[in-house]
Copies of this chain bind each other. A is one copy, B any other.
Amino acid sequence: MKRGLPGALRARGIQPSAQRLAVAEYVLDTLDHPSADQVWARVKRRVPMISRATVYNTLNLFVEKGLLRQLVLAEGRIVFDPHVAPHHHFVDDETGAILDVPWEALDVRKVESLEGIDVREYQVVLRGRAPRSRRA
């Protein structure tokens, strides 16, 4: 059931606007894991007057409404991932690139055995080197 970008936003209780659509158009559809400023740079190509604050606000709104996930994997940068279903992440030591690892590729056991803590979500974070062909 396609309803277009404006509908997708409305379905999450987000009032569409030109700026929000421009951000959504890029960030909801990318395979990258861009930082907020990378999103800003990208969106400015189409909407040159958009301000940094708007992009930051919009991204945070999308996270709050479940359209994006916020990841804290790389040094000092928060990145955004439109792939909201559970999956793991691999960080390339050399390039800093972040690759998605399918949930089924790994098998984590005994999570339920952690006594006294209430685990909302978890993921495996792997670090190492990826061959050129696999890099994002």
Contacts and interface: CB of A to CB of B under 8 A. Distances in A.
Chain A interface, >50% SS class? strand
Interface string A103-136: 0011111110110111111111111111101100
Interface in A72-109: 72-76, 78, 90, 93, 99, 101, 105-109
Given A93-B120, A123-B124, A130-B116, A110 B107 contact: yes
A117 to B, nearest CB: 5
Nearest to A134: B116
A127 B78 CA distance: 16
Interface of A: 72-76, 78, 90, 93, 99, 101, 105-111, 113-114, 116-131, 133-134
